[in-house]
Structure 1
Amino acid sequence: MGSVTASASVSSRRERVGWYFYDVANSAFSTTVVTVFLGPYLTSVAERAAGCSGEVACVGRVSFFGMAQIAPGALFPYMTSLSVFLTVFVLPVVGAMADRSAHKKKLMALFAYVGAGATAALVFMTGDRYLLGASLFLVANIAFGASVVVYHSFLPQIAGPDERDSVSSVGWAFGYLGGGVLLAVNVAAVFFKDSLGWDTAEVARYSIVSAGVWWAAFTTVPMVLLRNRPAAAGPAQGSLLVDGFRQLWSTVRSLKAYPLTLFFLIAYLVYNDGIQTVIALASVYGTKELRLSDEVLVPTILMVQFLAFAGALGMGALAKRIGAWKTILLSLALWTVVVIVAYRLPAGQAVPFIALGGAIGIVLGGSQALSRSLFSQLIPKGKEGEYFGLYEISDKGTSWLGPLLFGLAFDTTGSYRVAIVSLLVFFVVGFVLLLAVPIRRAIVAAGNVPPRVL
């Protein structure tokens, strides 16, 4: 994996390209698996287990690992919520380990390849094996979050304060482009499934598997181009894992010394939970409530990926002019409009859904990329991995309150429209909380130099 080098924060263009490519690698999981194919496919497998045969609204119930009987349509959001509940305990420990490891590339590779392997193993989710699929998704989503924690912790080491918004935005743009390319291949499979001799379920299953293969293949690029650096927080005292658990408690206690960083983190966890829930459950909403076919749904989500590429770069450029904080606030106002419009979309009509997808694409990449770079300015030096471990609790595909609220709303009302409009609370509350954060003072309080424009 390469030897440890002494470089502190200087990076070459080659190394930054390597860092960008892990966004290319993992975005296939976010896009093809979480956003498009797994939700509807896992739901259909669970419906089959419940004895449903293609009804618009399945009234059967399935066992949730022997703990409860639930509606099949609630399984995917519940599993997303469960996986993130578990990552609350896993990711901060992984971050602490990253700060104490001089071989962060190996740590990132470990989680990346475990996640990719679990994703590829979803090829065995056939018949009524919904619990197998749910279990593999649990492993993949936790491993995904863990790998991205280590990935994020490289950002302050490869980009200075005035470069970070741009570098983060380019990385996110690369990710949406890469995720879009694989999704384009899978879209082609949807349209040509008859020629391939596959049905819709087989297209979904092999598309999910392709994301695992893509994730593993492109992870090799950062493994070659990124450089290891000395441990940011000094070497571990004894076992890296034990020291990571010890440092987790220290990190939680130290947060009270940086109340403004904590306040921003809370705001982010709220509004990004809403963003991630919309992304993860858009395909379920489009399929089950709006009754749109894969021939409409999948190309629309593909369009969102390429618009998000442009949106991330565009909002990164806007942040250079008005600052990342104001740009994120603008994006949250637009997200609020998106949810209201989604609630009122007519069923069975493709054009309004496609137009809404275009709006999502414009604000999607920028709001996430700028949040990442802005948070990196609020982290005390040497604690990047620890703090990004807390941050990642609500990053790509790892929200939990949103899916839980969505699942409860659907489980109690049977209406996907009520479930989608319930997500408004995340954007409204998140906007108010972020508006209250004095960003420049927060950066200085963390011991960092603010960028020229905030």
Structure 2
Amino acid sequence: MRSLQKGDEKLINAWAFYDWANSVYSLVIATAIFPIYYDSVTGENGGRVQFLGTDFNNSTLLSYSLSFSFLIVALLSPILSGIADYTGNKKKFLKFFCYLGSLSVISLFFFRGQDTLWIGILGTVLASIGFWGSIVFYNSYLPEIAYPEQHDRVSAKGFMFGYLGSLLLLGFSLLLVMKPDLFGITDSSLPARISFLAVGIWWMGFAQVTFYYLPNNVFHKKPEKDYIFKGLKELKIVFKNVLQQIALKQFLIAFFLYSIGVQTVILLAGLFGKKELGIDTSKLIIIILIINVVAIFGAFLFSRISEKIGNINTLKVTIIIWCGICIAAYLLDAKSDSIDLQFYALGGTIGMVLGAIQTLSRSTYSKLLPDTEDHATYFSFFDVTEKIAIVFGTFIFGFVGAITDSMRNSFLILALFFLLGFIVLAMMKKEEK
């Protein structure tokens, strides 16, 4: 196979295709089917479950489990990315985390209730580590497969591929869950578990396209034997460089603050809709379909808007909308006759800014990077910032929900973090001037 050059459309499409492969995890496992299924099989006894000899509220246990997985990724990814940059073999790390995540998702097929809760929690943790660990190395390819002027559109293309692919598989899962009789299924837990199996196979299978075309060791590095020590040294150098670059540092601070809100809403919105608002499972899945359909247009639209008013200003617009989303979620009344329509509207709004803020965050960070060969290491700081934000956000969401006995109050706290992120971005704009 001939080597594809940087900026080549075929190489860009192959890179973006990993979004097509892995986004089914984000949608089906992290957002839609699994949280709803988890609540349904652990909802007896008022939602109280026993895990590791301790009594938990089921939603709090899931929130804490996700927090733990993100903490592991935050600790591992800088070290592994330093080694990957030094040795030039980041494709191997991408493959490892992809296979860890996809196989862990497949294991969720065997999670059927309290007796197998350990499978559900362990599978959730390892799948999350696999997904987010692979994203570090995937994102770090962006400066190597596309030129800076292409980054906004290429980043948007990845997310658009991801939303399209995940919509297809979610549509299949929706059909399974809502019409199990069409497939001759009588076991109520089987439709969701089949969808978990399908996600793992889809993720692993379609990732092969990306693995085939993506280059490895772009800078032709020849590592010495003590590559672990050298990799850690590489990490230390990059960390010092990040601290010295004011714009990059300010953006990471803003990204941390608003990611607390974005990622927590993505991960726990389904659980909020089912448990707090009493939204029917089938309607929740339809809402999530709406979010992802609208997100395709949102990613495209805001990537074009950024070309007119700049990345930072466009991000500020999306953050204002996210603040409104959190306040609206707090005000939702489960007793309202139009609660379904209100939640549909909220989901559509989330979709419009979800693809936008994810696309622009990745491309903005990529544009702020200095001329370097340490892309994986630099992107590990981007990833660690997001993971720590998720650890913080999911913990706060679960903690506030536990002490107030309402997930609704957690949304007001998230709105505050969006506001703080906006303020830091506004200061960054002044600094750029």
Query: Do the two structures share a fold, i.e. TM-score over 0.5?
Result: yes
Picking from 401, 411, 415, the partner of 1:410 is 401
Q: 1:295 to 1:42 in 2, by over 3 A?
A: closer
Picking from 377, 381, 386, the partner of 1:386 is 377
Greater CA deviation, 331-340 or 172-181? 172-181
The residue that corresponds to 1:365 in the other structure is 355
C-alpha separation in 2, matches of 1:149 and 1:101: 16
Picking from 436, 441, 451, the partner of 2:427 is 436
> CA contact under 8 A between 1:30 and 1:397: conserved in structure 2?
no
Q: Deviation of residue 241 (structure 1)?
A: 4.0
One-letter identity of the residue aligned with 2:79: V
> CA contact under 8 A between 2:71 and 2:388: conserved in structure 1?
no
C-alpha separation in 2, matches of 1:431 and 1:73: 30
> CA contact under 8 A between 1:261 and 1:379: conserved in structure 2?
yes
The residue that corresponds to 2:118 in the other structure is 131
The residue that corresponds to 1:94 in the other structure is 80
Picking from 411, 425, 448, the partner of 2:416 is 425
Query: Does 2:235 match 1:248?
Result: yes
The residue that corresponds to 2:69 in the other structure is 83
What stretches of structure 1 of length at least 5 have no aligned partner?
443-454
One-letter identity of the residue aligned with 2:294: L
The residue that corresponds to 1:401 in the other structure is 392
Q: Deviation of residue 239 (structure 1)?
A: 4.4
1:253-268 matches, within 5 Å, as 253-268=240-255
Q: 1:214 to 1:241 in 2, by over 3 A?
A: farther
> CA contact under 8 A between 1:43 and 1:76: conserved in structure 2?
no
Picking from 14, 22, 37, the partner of 2:18 is 22
1:312-323 matches, within 5 Å, as 312-323=299-310
Q: 1:336 to 1:371 in 2, by over 3 A?
A: same
Q: Deviation of residue 147 (structure 1)?
A: 0.9
The residue that corresponds to 1:215 in the other structure is 203
> CA contact under 8 A between 1:45 and 1:130: conserved in structure 2?
no
1:35-74 matches, within 5 Å, as 35-48=31-44, 52=45, 55=46, 58=47, 60-63=48-51, 65-66=52-53, 68-74=54-60
C-alpha separation in 1, matches of 2:271 and 2:171: 19
The CA deviation string for residues 17-47 of structure 1, in whole angstroms up to 9 with x for no partner, is 1001001111000010000122233334444
What stretches of structure 2 of length at least 5 have no aligned partner?
none
Picking from 96, 103, 106, the partner of 1:117 is 103
C-alpha separation in 2, matches of 1:200 and 1:420: 32
Q: Deviation of residue 251 (structure 1)?
A: 3.0
Helix, strand or coil at the partner of 1:290: coil
One-letter identity of the residue aligned with 1:13: E
Picking from 160, 165, 169, the partner of 2:156 is 169
C-alpha separation in 1, matches of 2:41 and 2:234: 42
C-alpha separation in 2, matches of 1:26 and 1:420: 28
C-alpha separation in 2, matches of 1:144 and 1:333: 29
Richer in helix (by share):
2
Q: Deviation of residue 97 (structure 1)?
A: 2.7
Taking structure 1 as the reference length, what is the TM-score of the superposition? Answer: 0.88
C-alpha separation in 2, matches of 1:97 and 1:181: 36
What is the number of residues matched between the two proteins? 427
Alpha-carbon RMSD across the aligned residues, in angstroms, is 2.3
> CA contact under 8 A between 1:20 and 1:171: conserved in structure 2?
yes
Helix, strand or coil at the partner of 1:422: helix
1:180-329 matches, within 5 Å, as 180-196=167-183, 197-231=185-219, 234-329=221-316
The CA deviation string for residues 36-81 of structure 1, in whole angstroms up to 9 with x for no partner, is 1222333344444xxx2xx5xx3x3533x34x53212201111111
